[in-house]
Amino acid sequence: MNRALQFGEGLFETIHWRGRNYKLKKHYERLRSSAEFFGYPCPEYGEFVREIEKATAGNKNLYVKYLLLLKGSEYYGDYPEGYETKVLVKKLPQTPERVKLCLSSYRRHSRNPVFYHKTTNFLFSVLVKREAKIRGFFDGIVLNERNFLTETSSANLLIYKRGKFFTPARESGLLQGTTLELLSEEISIKEEFISLDFLKDAEGVFILNSLIKLLPVLEIEGERFRENKELVKELREVIERRELLSESSGNLGKG
């Protein structure tokens, strides 16, 4: 039985496909880590890559969504016994140069384990995005039960203030993205429990994920932020450089 269809038991990775590289390995490592957490079977790295290469037919610079869909017993309390995979391929979406965000009316709870993993149970994020679009914003920022920032419907937050970089602590109830992880390997980024007040006087706010890479935030609910084009350029260059490292590259240390 397809447990992904019946119970939402599945994982996925959204990938900017550019061939085998360091970033691709990061995607797989996150997929496997989540599978281990939930007790799911998972393909090996070689199978993961071969399926993507087959689906993309030698083409690159594509949007790839890799789905791990669980199969097994029809009883919801049982563990999955197997899996099937699907690879969806399409053109990369167009993204704006800068964005405006709102505060979502929906909340996350930091003790909910689902928010720490990229699961096919994606309805919460759908609701956040739809609400933001109806209000005329690119996306919504979600707060947790203690009014700390988490992330948007599909992107991590990065804040530049007093010459330092900050991002909401993972324990707030969020999924740390592979793009933020790459950036943090070269630039010191401090994880903190961040309230809305912390955004006042910020010298820069950004959102990050695998498809948009890094976008500056110009406004959050009427609060405007400066766009430091030189800083944006530098951060994007770091992401680009680290993304295209070889599969076997490790953490080269923070600069």
Residues of the chain with pLDDT under 70: 250-255
Assigned CATH class of 3-90: alpha beta
pLDDT at 250: 59
Q: Whole-model pTM? A: 0.94
Q: Where are the domains of the chain?
A: 3-90, 99-243
pLDDT at 185: 97
pLDDT (tens digit per residue) in 46-59: 999 999 999 999 99
Between the alpha carbon of residue 216 and those of residues 71, 93, 181, 190, the distances in Å are: 41, 17, 18, 19
pLDDT at 252: 42
Partners of 86 in beta bridges: 67
pLDDT at 80: 97
pLDDT at 171: 98
- Token digits for 8? 């939402």
- 99-243: CATH, from 2.60.40.10, 3.30.365.10, 3.20.10.10, 3.40.50.1860: 3.20.10.10
